[in-house]
């Protein structure tokens, strides 16, 4: 017995709506929260942002958590990053 050939069923699905945000996704109010939001949107780790801004990871962590604020010399690169 020989089985009949299978036919491929082609279907397309279009999903509409907003992509779900990860837990802890910020609703930015401070500069650090804006940085965190953009970093998450661009799927960057903090250590990748340190290379972009030429700062250490602890600085990024402090800025995002509101424990500290960047000094003036980092503002131009932060503004470039935020777009």
- Each of the 83 residues of the chain gets a pLDDT tens digit; together they read 777 776 766 677 777 877 777 777 768 889 999 999 999 999 999 999 999 999 999 999 999 999 999 999 999 999 999 98
Are 61 and 46 a contacting pair, CB within 8 Å? yes
Q: Residue 30's closest CA among 41, 21, 38, 22?
A: 38
The number of CA neighbours under 13 Å toward the Cβ of 69 is 5
In the structure encoding, which two tokens stand for residue 18, read together?
A: 């907003």
């Amino acid at each position: 017995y020989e089985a009949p050939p299978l036919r491929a069923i082609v279907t397309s699905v279009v999903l509409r709506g907003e992509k779900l945000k990860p837990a802890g996704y910020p609703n930015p109010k401070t500069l650090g929260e804006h940085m965190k939001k953009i970093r998450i949107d661009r799927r960057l780790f903090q250590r990748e942002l340190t290379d972009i801004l030429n700062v250490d990871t602890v600085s990024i962590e402090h800025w995002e958590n509101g424990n500290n604020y960047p000094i003036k010399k980092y503002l131009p690169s932060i503004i470039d990053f935020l777009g």
